Amino acid sequence: MEKLIEYILQFGNLNKQQIELISKNAAETQLHKDQYFAEAGKTFNRVAFVLEGVLRICYYNNKGEEITKYFIEENNFVANPYQNEPFTEYIQAATDCKLIVFYPQQWSQLSNTILEWDTIINKIFHHALMKKMDRRSSLVSEDATTRYLKFIEKFPSLTNRVPLSYIASYLGITQSSLSRIRKNIA
């Protein structure tokens, strides 16, 4: 729980009471590798913070291929920005994970009780989005090898922890190509 608090405090100040309130309203959960945290078509209105492990957000394109849209590593939030619309993607544990989960009632209590909560959360989410955007952008204009090297830099912890296919679809190449690229690098 300290990891969460520490993370939040980077974006704003909270007093002890507020910190306690957050702790009270949060529940710790575990996910096994491959388990889904959210599924397309179902509602998804929880907010979670990744304590350990890696989640991935994925979907199926019009050819039925599974595309990894993004990886979420430790010390990051996951949430559904469009809670009123049906969720269209999957959130799956790419490795075993420990999460801190906030349920909707708990979340709104925080939002109602802690004056700066919404501001802080906005900052956090905005910051995360910018990071995602930058990573994603830099993928477009590079060749596959460069993309993979950048991937290793950004997600060093993932390189040997998740299946090749996840990384390949994230990078926009086939699994065989990634395998060959990997071979050439080593």
Partner DNA sequence: ATCCTTTTTTGCCAAATGGCAAAAGACTTT
Partner DNA sequence: AAAGTCTTTTGCCATTTGGCAAAAAAGGAT
Residues that bind its own copies (CB under 8 A): 61, 65, 67, 69-70, 81, 118-119, 122, 125-126, 129-130, 132-133, 136-137, 139-142, 169-172
* Residue 182 interacting entry, from its own copies, DNA, none, C-beta within 5 to 8 Å by type: DNA
From CA 26, how far away is CA 21, in angstroms rounded? 9
H-assigned helices in 36-141 = 104-113, 117-140
* Residue 16 interacting entry, from its own copies, DNA, none, C-beta within 5 to 8 Å by type: none
27 - beta bridge partners?
A: 101
Q: How far is the CB of 185 from its own copies (least distance, A)?
A: 18
Euclidean distance between the first and the last CA atom of the chain, given in angstroms as a whole number = 39
* Residue 140 interacting entry, from DNA, its own copies, none, C-beta within 5 to 8 Å by type: its own copies
Sheet holding 90-93, edge to edge: 36-38, 90-93, 55-60, 66-72
**Contact in structure between 148 and 171 (CB atoms under 8 Å):** yes
Q: How far is the CB of 119 from its own copies (least distance, A)?
A: 8
The tally of CA atoms less than 13 A away on the side-chain side of residue 150 is: 16
Based on the shown chain and the rule CB under 7 A, indicate whether residue 45 belongs to the binding site for DNA: no
Given its phi and psi angles, is residue 85 left (phi above 0), alpha (psi -120 to 50 degrees) or beta?
Answer: beta
From CA 132, how far away is CA 137, in angstroms rounded? 8
Based on the shown chain and the rule CB under 7 A, indicate whether residue 93 belongs to the binding site for DNA: no
Query: Which of the residues 151 through 180 are near DNA (CB under 7 A)?
Result: 163-165, 172-180
Q: Which is nearer to DNA, 94 or 114 (CB)?
A: 94
* Residue 126 interacting entry, from its own copies, DNA, none, C-beta within 5 to 8 Å by type: its own copies
Based on the shown chain and the rule CB under 7 A, indicate whether residue 67 belongs to the binding site for DNA: no
Footprint on this chain of DNA (rule: CB under 7 A): 143-145, 163-165, 172-183
